Amino acid sequence: MSVFSLSDFADHEQVVFCSDDKSGLKAIIAVHNSNLGPALGGCRMWPYASEEEAIRDVLRLSRGMTYKSAMANLKLGGGKSVVIGNPRTQKTPQLLEALARAVDNLKGRYIAAEDSGTSVADMKYMAEFTPYVSGVKDKATKDGKRSGDPSPATAYGTFVGIRAAVKEKLGRDSLDGLRVAVQGIGNVGFDLARQLKAAGASLWVSDIHQEQLDRAQQELGATVVGSEAIFGLDVDVFAPCAMGAILNDKTIPQIKAQVIAGAANNQLAEPRHGTALMDRGILYAPDYVINAGGIIDVYHERTGFKHEEVTRHVEQIYDNLMEIFERARVEGRPTGEVADVIAEERFKR
């Protein structure tokens, strides 16, 4: 397989393959673009079915980080890393050390943060071997302090983005009585669901882990549905908060929701699926715009964290989305296409 020939390669500046026999590390670090600053992006650990799947994922994710940081007006480029393996059974201190040393070899071109399959504790351990990690410092909030975990900011930004999408598509300022299907209720998905519940929304949830479903049912009164059934529910909003490429030829015809707005990365399997959603009258909130809260949080950690400033910055996601929605409506173009144009104007200049 030629990496250069992949459609997802998309002019990446650097792709590094890392391995360590002693720890069993098999990882890929991708730097998509560094025009605006160092490439910052999470480190994902996942039991990929093949090396090709892992390569495609890291390429799509790192490109998304470039666009995400540009849309959020951050002086950062886009990068990502993936580790091939099951984080519940194969993640060890030795593997994390080997990964940290691989990150360190790039001398700051790539800065890692937590992601699916990794945690703040993992990043803190890696920080013993490299300074090029973020999301590790405790942060002040209006109620005290929280950990460096950026997922609360991601969840809040997604909540703000849902409000924007509901305003655009349904003409509603209130979320009271809104019907929302949340796919994936890990750290971000559960926190988002909690905020939606507090705003008066009714919830349907799916996840691959039963303990998370039990928690959502018990604490939020959510209705649990199967992984396949989540797509076809008669709801107002579908909020993907798990893995990518879930909006595709198979799933889009099933969707009854008028709005798709969630925290997952790379939700469109292909760009043409954005057109398919538009043709069906479904408003899509581009993933890298609505889920930018986490990268905003991590950026402010590096520049001096002030809770009020971070909150105001995250809340700009509302205005960013409304600008995209308006341009898409006026120009008759998919929202994802409009978002790409705006982001490229920023990071290519």
Locate 321 and state its tokens.
């989305």
Q: How far apart are the first and last CA of the chain?
A: 33
Locate 40 and state its tokens.
């910052």
Q: What is the distance between the alpha carbons of residues 142 and 68, in angstroms, rounded to a whole number? A: 26
**Helix/strand/coil for 231:** helix
Cβ–Cβ < 8 Å for 211, 175: no
Task: Write down the catalytic residue from 26, 68, 80, 169.
Answer: 80
**Helix/strand/coil for 331:** helix
Active site (annotated) includes residue 80: yes
Q: What is the distance between the alpha carbons of residues 137 and 309, in angstroms, rounded to a whole number? A: 17
Cβ–Cβ < 8 Å for 269, 155: no
Using alpha carbons, select from 80, 62, 74 the residue that is nearest to residue 37: 74
Q: What residues act catalytically?
A: 80
